[in-house]
């Protein structure tokens, strides 16, 4: 998965951009204090550069993590100040400063990343997405969804499916052969363009998953799929409330989520350092019961790798009661 970063947002000032590039090289070599200093110089040239402030926050935060306890609090405060400045300068928050502030305990944990941030992130990732996720990171989403459907809806043919956060369409081959009509929705236009190129969806829409379901005719779907999308949502109640409204009795919702590990502290839903959310099994069960779904299966599985580690998640299948 791509690191959540401000890499692709330019200041419009070549010298400032160049300083930040050098700063990134320093940071990559572990020289986070030098990286922060270079970024401060870049920001003297481009003080309104939200992505520059965000990068400064990242370097200061990394420096705080490496520092002795004494320097820690000050650098952390400096990181928070830089993220706040990034958020102030870009109200759409394309860099995702709100998530960093939440992780640092300086702001409430939001229900989802800023939409502009998800769009920017995946628009910038669309060309590399499939090679990176499937080949390099061993992404198993489509295989897991297929296995759930084979196990719990064997031979079933669906009339109308919606693939939430369809991305480039990696799930489409798995779904297409089971459905008469397949629609996809995703926040990132460049991901949607790739999915369109695959030619397996009947319609594709650039929209938020919950808003897209809210806009549909009630009880019009009998299959909803979501591969590796709910890690971009915290509490899943709103998305399942929307799914309940738009599905008919007996409809299937099949999805993957990152699972909260035994050792992880936090409630049912945890915003991780990766700035993705993980959900406990108890959250999935509670949300299903509260929104009109029956849990058919929640299996623990490896979803993919991230930064050299296996990401353990749940592959789940619910039916609409
Ligand atoms: C990791 S990709 C998964 C794509 C695809 N489902 C797959 O299995 O390959 C996550 C996708 O979810 C989309 N996404 C994240 N949050 C979203 C939201 N609230 N509404 C719509 N799409 C969203 C992103 O733009 C991205 O394309």
Contact 248, 220 (CB under 8 A): yes
Evaluate if residue 7 carries a pLDDT over 80.
Answer: no
Pair 289, 231 in one domain: yes
Number of domains in the chain: 2
Residue nearest to atom 8 of ligand 1 (CA): 227
Residue 3 lies in a domain: no
Evaluate if residue 15 carries a pLDDT over 60.
Answer: yes
Choose the final residue of a domain: 109, 144, 173. 109
Pair 156, 104 in one domain: no
Q: Which atom of ligand 1 is nearest to the CA of 141?
A: 8
Pair 288, 213 in one domain: yes
Pair 68, 130 in one domain: no
Pair 169, 281 in one domain: yes
Residue 72 lies in a domain: yes
Q: What is the DSSP string of 214-283?
A: HTSPTT-EEEEEESS-GGG-SS-HHHHHHHHHHEEEEEEEEEEEEBPPTT--SSSEEE-TTS-EEE-HHH
Evaluate if residue 50 carries a pLDDT over 80.
Answer: yes
Evaluate if residue 18 carries a pLDDT over 80.
Answer: yes
Residue 59 lies in a domain: yes
pLDDT tens string 127-143: 999 998 888 899 999 99
Question: Tokens 């623990």 — which residue?
Answer: 300
Beta bridge partners of 277: 271
The percentage of the chain sitting over the pLDDT mark of 90, rounded to a whole number, equals: 87
Pair 161, 309 in one domain: yes
For the record, the structure tokens of 291 come out as 């929104």
pLDDT tens string 263-302: 898 899 999 999 999 999 999 999 999 999 999 999 999 9
Q: Which pLDDT band, with edges at 50, 70 and 90, does 304 fall under? A: very high
Instruction: Find the CATH number of the domain harbouring 35.
Output: 1.25.40.10
Residue nearest to atom 12 of ligand 1 (CA): 165
Q: Taking Cα atoms as reference points, which of 121, 218, 217, 134 lies closest to residue 165?
A: 121
Task: Give me the domain span that covers residue 273.
Answer: 121-320
Give me the pLDDT at residue 2, please: 47
Q: Rg of the chain over CA atoms, in angstroms?
A: 21
pLDDT tens string 170-190: 999 999 999 999 999 999 999
Give me the pLDDT at residue 3, please: 44
Pair 126, 228 in one domain: yes
Pair 96, 138 in one domain: no
Using alpha carbons, list the distances in angstroms from residue 133 to 100, 129, 237: 24, 6, 28
Residue 24 lies in a domain: yes
Q: Taking Cα atoms as reference points, which of 197, 51, 42, 49 lies closest to residue 116?
A: 51
Evaluate if residue 102 carries a pLDDT over 80.
Answer: yes
Q: Which atom of ligand 1 is nearest to the CA of 211?
A: 20
Q: Ligand 1 center to residue 130 CA distance, Å?
A: 13
- CA 292 from chain centre, in angstroms, equals 25
Give me the pLDDT at residue 8, please: 56
Pair 185, 226 in one domain: yes
- The Cα–Cα gap between 280 and 287 comes to 11
Q: Which pLDDT band, with edges at 50, 70 and 90, does 74 fall under? A: confident
pLDDT, mean of residues 211-234: 98
Give me the pLDDT at residue 42, please: 97
Q: Which atom of ligand 1 is nearest to the CA of 118?
A: 25
Instruction: Find the CATH number of the domain harbouring 236.
Output: 3.40.50.150
pLDDT, mean of residues 138-158: 97
Q: Ligand 1 center to residue 312 CA distance, Å?
A: 18
Q: Ligand 1 center to residue 252 CA distance, Å?
A: 19
More confident residue, 17 or 134: 17
Choose the final residue of a domain: 89, 109, 129. 109
Choose the final residue of a domain: 109, 134, 156. 109
Q: What is the mean pLDDT of the chain?
A: 94
The percentage of the chain sitting over the pLDDT mark of 70, rounded to a whole number, equals: 96
Residue 2 lies in a domain: no
Q: Ligand 1 center to residue 191 CA distance, Å?
A: 9
Q: Which atom of ligand 1 is nearest to the CA of 188?
A: 25
Handedness of CA 25, 39, 105, 210 (dihedral sign): negative
- The Cα–Cα gap between 299 and 281 comes to 9
Give me the pLDDT at residue 68, please: 58
Give me the pLDDT at residue 69, please: 54
Pair 261, 199 in one domain: yes
In terms of DSSP bridges, do strands 221-226 and 203-206 run parallel, antiparallel, or are they unpaired? unpaired
Q: Ligand 1 center to residue 255 CA distance, Å?
A: 12
Residue 4 lies in a domain: no
Test site for ligand 1: of 117, 118, 142, most ligand atoms within 8 A of the Cβ:
118
Residue 7 lies in a domain: no
Test site for ligand 1: of 168, 185, 187, most ligand atoms within 8 A of the Cβ:
187
Q: Ligand 1 center to residue 246 CA distance, Å?
A: 19
Pair 104, 131 in one domain: no
Q: Ligand 1 center to residue 25 CA distance, Å?
A: 30
- The Cα–Cα gap between 314 and 301 comes to 6
Query: In which region does residue 132 sit, left (phi positive, over 0), alpha (psi from -120 to 50) or beta (all else)?
Result: alpha
Pair 186, 251 in one domain: yes
Q: What angle do CA 189, 194, 199 make, to 5 degrees?
A: 120
Q: Ligand 1 center to residue 83 CA distance, Å?
A: 25
Pocket around ligand 1 at a 6 A CB cut-off: 112, 118, 122, 141, 165-167, 170-171, 185-188, 191, 208-209, 227-229, 232
Q: Which pLDDT band, with edges at 50, 70 and 90, does 77 fall under? A: very high
Give me the pLDDT at residue 4, please: 44
Q: Ligand 1 center to residue 47 CA distance, Å?
A: 33
């Amino acid at each position: 998965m791509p690191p959540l970063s401000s890499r692709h947002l330019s200041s419009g000032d070549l010298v400032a951009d160049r300083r930040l590039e050098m700063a990134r090289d320093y940071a990559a070599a572990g020289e986070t204090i030098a990286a922060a200093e270079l970024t401060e110089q870049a920001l003297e040239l481009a003080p309104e550069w939200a992505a520059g402030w965000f990068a400064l926050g990242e370097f200061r935060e990394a420096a705080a993590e490496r520092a002795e306890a004494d320097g820690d609090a000050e650098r952390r405060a400096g990181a928070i100040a830089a993220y706040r400045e990034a958020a102030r300068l870009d109200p759409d928050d394309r860099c995702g400063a709100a998530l960093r502030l939440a992780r640092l305990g300086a702001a409430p944990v939001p229900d989802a990343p800023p939409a502009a941030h998800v769009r920017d992130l995946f628009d910038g990732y669309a060309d590399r997405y499939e090679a990176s996720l499937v080949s390099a990171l061993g992404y198993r989403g489509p295989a897991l969804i297929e296995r759930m459907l084979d196990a719990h809806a064997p031979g079933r043919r669906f009339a109308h499916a919606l693939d939430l956060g369809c991305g480039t369409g990696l799930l489409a081959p798995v779904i297409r052969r089971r459905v008469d009509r397949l629609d996809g929705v995703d926040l990132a236009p460049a991901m949607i363009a790739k999915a369109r190129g695959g030619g397996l969806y009947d319609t594709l829409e650039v929209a938020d998953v919950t808003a897209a379901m809210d806009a549909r005719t009630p009880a019009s779907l009998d299959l909803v799929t979501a591969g590796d999308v709910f890690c971009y949502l915290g509490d899943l109640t709103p998305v399942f409330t929307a799914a309940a409204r738009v599905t008919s009795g007996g409809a299937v919702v099949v999805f993957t989520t990152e699972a909260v590990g035994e050792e992880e502290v936090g409630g049912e839903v945890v915003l991780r350092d990766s700035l993705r959310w993980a959900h406990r099994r108890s959250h999935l069960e509670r949300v299903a019961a509260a929104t009109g779904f029956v849990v058919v299966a929640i299996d623990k599985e490896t979803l993919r790798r991230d930064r050299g580690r296996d990401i353990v998640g749940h592959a789940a299948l619910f039916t609409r009661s």
